[in-house]
Each structure stands twice: as structure tokens, then as C-alpha cells.
Amino acid sequence: METTARALVAPGKGILAADESTGTIEKRFKSVGATGTPETRRAYRELLFTAPGLGEFISGVILFDETARQKAGDGTTLIGTLQRQGIIPGIKVDVGAQAMAGFPGEKLTLGLDGLRERLAEYRELGARFTKWRAVITLGTDLPTDPCLRANAHGLACFAALSQEAGLVPLVEPEVLMDGDHPLACHAAVTQRMLRFVFDALAEHRVRLEAMLLKPNMVLPGQDCPQTASASEVAEATLQCMRRTVPAAVPGLVFLSGGQSDVRATENLNAMNRLGGAPWELGFSFGRALQDPALKAWSGLPGNVARAQQELLLRAKCNGAARSGTYTAAMEEG
Ligand code: 13P
């Protein structure tokens, strides 16, 4: 597991999150005029996974249950197409966030029932790492401590079960960027949540060396009138992480969280330029890797090659951001 964790944050590489649930991918498809069916979802994921040379910049891909059972056009399993590219397959194992009883406006991520059995099956299918996402909402008097504690507990139980099955857990406590809060407020809540998370991980005897943290970057809210530069985001994010994340964790793989693709790359690059962090500073982007490819594809088989080029460009730019060597000129291709 430690070898896998380190391979996922190997220099110049990062993770592609392609584990959108059926409902989420439906929304993304609709935005480009494509229809979501098992076949279009399969075709789209095949396009992503078979992009020539993807393995140069992508160390792992997170799959959704349906994808882990599908086959490419040539009969290879989609998991097999990743393995062929030297990419480690992973799987999302939570079953989503639901309204938390007694706590209006807050969510609790579910999925522990039957998880031990599901993990054994995913390992059999070829998965080597797992993901569980907790969703924390900012608002007036939100989040509450009980919501943070309950979500941290879920993450810790998931992580312990994953390690029991020999799978590296990606622990994802996402503090959303929705709202008009300033950066300092996002920093304070992220810090609070990470304290709950690492307390719970320690209580549940999770081996820090064999996990990765998938955190949000610290950002001003999407509707906040004040924006923040990449170096402000980098400094605030790393300060928050230094205060809360033990150095035994091999890597942080940031989610993009709805930032534009280029902003996410710039912010990751700025963090790596600062240097001196005790962990690898990597990525596990969904939208920030896929958006241009999804637009280029738009559901049409004739657009596959162009969509793959778009994915490769984002992967390459983020690969460079891993060493702080990304430049705007790279966007020209
Ligand atoms: P985004 O990078 O689009 O936030 O997705 C990452 C992810 O896996 C969310 O769970």
C-alpha cells in the first residue's frame, strides 16, 4: 500500500477523477448536449482512458462502480485499458452525501454498510486505491461540529476498511467553495475539519503512510467579491495543511472543486513553487482535467481524437505544476 500511495504521487504525475456518479455525469453531459446512457458513459470513459501517452502524466484514475465493470470497444475491460497505460485503477466507494438528520443545510456521506464485501470485489476487479468524499457546506452558523465529527468518523471507518483490504484510501473532506465567504473563513473551516479528520484517523488506527489526503484548496467563496491570487491561495492552503496534516502522510492530492481548469493548475503550480512542504503536492482533479475534453467531445464519435488532445494538454500542464514549472505558454499546446 505504501508503494502504491507513493506511485500515485510520483513526480510529474497526478490522479484523474473520473468517478462521477450517474446523476453527476448526466449533468455534465447535458451541458455539452450529450445524452447519458450506459453506452455513452462507456464511450466517454474509454476516450479518456485510451488517450495516447496519458500514463506519462496520470498515475491513477478513480472510477465509478459502473465503469469498473465495463469493457472498451476491443473487448478489454476499461480497468485493463488503464493497466495497459501503466495507470493505477481506483474506485469511489461512498454512496453519496445525504441531508444530515437534525442538521438543516448539512450533509453526511454514507456507504459503510456492506463496504468490506464491496472492497474485496473491487480489489478482485483490479482496483488498488479507494475514495470517499465528505461534503462540508459553509453558511450562517455552518458547519456545525457534529456534522464535521460525523463526516470525519465516516472517513476514518472507510480508510480503516480500505487498508484492511489492502487498498490505499484517498480521504476527501471537501469544504465547498460555494458561497460569498472570504478566504480566511474557508481557511478556518478547512483547518477545523482537518483536525477532526486526523483525530478520527488516529483513533481508528489508520496507517498514515498508506493513505493520501484529498483536500480542497483554500479559496475565497465563488460569490465573494474579493478574489485571491495564486500565491495567496498557495500560502493560505499550505499554512492550513502544515497546521493539521502529519508529515507521515505521503501526499496531498488536491481536488479542483469548481475552479476553472487553468486556475486550478496555476494554484497547484504556486504551491509547488513555494517548496519546503513535507508531503508531495499533487492533484486528483475531475472537472479541471476533463472540462475541455468533454466540450471537445460533445457526445460525437468524430471528436474523440480532439477530446483526447485536450485531456493530454491539461494532464501535461498539471504534470508541470507538480514541479512548479508550469507556464502560461504551455497552454498553446
Ligand atoms: P473536482 O476536481 O471536479 O472537484 O472533482 C474531484 C473529485 O473527485 C470530487 O470528489
List the alpha helices (DSSP H) in the chain: 2-8, 22-31, 38-49, 65-68, 78-84, 115-125, 145-164, 183-203, 230-244, 261-274, 287-297, 304-321
Q: Which atom of ligand 1 is nearest to the CA of 62?
A: 8
Q: Could you give the residue numbers annotated as active site?
A: 172, 214
If one residue of 15, 285, 318 were mutated to test the ligand 1 pocket, choosing by the most ligand atoms within 8 A of its CB, it would be 285
Total-model pTM: 0.98
pLDDT band at 330 (very low <50, low <70, confident <90, very high): very high
Q: What is the pLDDT of residues 223-276, one digit of tens each?
A: 999 999 999 999 999 999 999 999 999 999 999 999 999 999 999 999 999 999
**C-beta of residue 159 within 8 angstroms of C-beta of residue 129:** no
Cβ atoms within 10 Å of 300's Cβ, excluding its own? 13
| Paired strand residues for 39 | none
pLDDT of 214 > 90? The answer is yes
Backbone angles phi, psi at 77, to 5 degrees: -65, 155
Give the position of cell 503550480: 269
How far is residue 203 from each of residues 127, 198, 225, 252, measured CA to CA in Å?
26, 9, 40, 21
Q: Which of 120, 126, 244, 271 is nearest to 175 (CA)?
A: 244
Helix (H, G, I), strand (E, B) or coil at 296: helix
Cell numbers describing residue 321? 505544476
DSSP symbol at 110: E
Residue 312 sits at φ, ψ, to 5 deg, of -65, -35
pLDDT in tens, 3-53: 999 999 999 999 999 999 999 999 999 999 999 999 999 999 999 999 999
Residue 36 CA to ligand 1 centre (angstroms): 19
CA of 38 to the centre of ligand 1 (A): 21
Ligand 1: centre distance to CA 133 (Å): 9
Ligand 1 centroid distance, CA of 132 (Å): 11
DSSP lists the bridge partners of residue 110 as 96
Residue owning the nearest CA to atom 10 of ligand 1: 133
Residue that is written with C-alpha cell 473491487 in the block = 122
Pocket (CB within 6 angstroms of ligand 1): 17, 133, 172, 255-257, 284-288
Ligand 1 pocket: which of 255, 260, 263, 267 to mutate (most atoms <8 Å of CB)? Answer: 255
Q: How confident is the model at residue 189 (pLDDT cuts 50, 70, 90)?
A: very high
Task: Give the C-alpha separation, 35 to 21, whole Å.
Answer: 15
Residue 257, number of CB atoms within 10 A of its CB: 20
What region does 12 belong to: left with phi over 0, alpha with psi -120 to 50, or beta?
left
pLDDT mean across residues, the chain: 98
For residues 129-148, give the mean pLDDT. 98
What share of the chain in percent tops pLDDT 70? Answer: 100
Place of cell 485493463: 80
Atom of ligand 1 nearest to the CA of 287: 3
Cα separation, 83 vs 101, in Å, equals 41
- What whole-number distance in Å separates Cα of residue 193 and Cα of residue 196? 5
Name the CATH superfamily, with its identifier, for domain 2-332.
Aldolase class I (3.20.20.70)
Domain ranges, ordered by start, for the chain:
2-332
Q: What is the mean pLDDT of residues 89-116?
A: 98
3-state DSSP call for residue 139?
strand
Minimum-distance ligand 1 atom for the alpha carbon of 290: 3
When pLDDT is averaged across residues 55-81 and rounded to a whole number, the result is 98
Question: Which cell goes with 1?
Answer: 500500500
- pLDDT number for residue 333: 80
Give residue-wise pLDDT tens across range 289-321. Answer: 999 999 999 999 999 999 999 999 999 999 999
pLDDT at 263: 98
Question: If pLDDT is split at 50, 70 and 90, which confidence band does 181 have?
Answer: very high
CA–centroid distance, 267 to ligand 1, in Å, is 15
